[in-house]
Amino acid sequence: MFRIGQKCPNPSVLTTIGLFELHKYFGQNWSIILSHPADFTPVCTTELSSLARLQSEFEKRETKVICLSVDSLEDHNLWKQDIEHYAECKVNYPLIADADGSVSEELGMLDPSQRDKGALQAVRAVYFISPDKKIRAVIAYPMSTGRNFDEIIRVLDSLQLHWKRGDIVTPSDWLPGQKVLVKPNEIVPDDAISPDLPSKKAYINFINC
């Protein structure tokens, strides 16, 4: 899989909304690529249904979403009907058809354990991509565990906030509206809240943002 800070490749992709280059679809937005193991599987159906229900949340954040698996366009279009039925809403994001696995391989999303067995299957992963087309976060899950989309949105919020305010970082379990932390080696504002630590080192400094 790709590492944080690497440039996202720009393959031409065949999708449920047409053929285009990945970067052209992203434009100047934040973007998320979600790969899934296979169409017509239970965990993946619940995941893409959750994603469909949350499309307005990604739109608020001016974030493009696209999904990928080693399946045909015909399968994607048929499975999309199942997703919409289960989600009780339309699927407006595209699904990349990648029957030969070439796009998954270029993006570093092929499952090596399955490839060793002679099978093609994408991992269950998420890439968060900034407007400069660099990968800013990567989350990977096992086949048995469905993704938590509240966490995906939380990570996106944190990344976007740090993109705007490079002097701050977010603490564990942070949610929008809560206090953030001053990034190490940055000037600490006078109104920062700093706990009195046994080490006497003032490296934890909370501020409003």
Position of tokens 């973007």?
Answer: 31
CA distance 60 to 62: 5
Q: How far is CA 13 from CA 26, 101, 145, 180, in A?
A: 12, 11, 27, 38
The tokens describing 91, both together, are: 């699927």
How many CB atoms are closer than 10 A to CB 73? Answer: 15
* Contact between residue 69 and residue 107 where contact means Cβ atoms under 8 Å apart: no
3-state DSSP call for residue 42?
helix
How many CB atoms are closer than 10 A to CB 72? Answer: 15
Q: How far is CA 173 from CA 38, 66, 151, in A?
A: 31, 26, 9
Catalytically annotated residues: 44, 132
Spatial CB neighbours of 64, under 8 Å, sequence gap ≥ 6: 25, 26, 27, 29, 30, 31, 32, 58
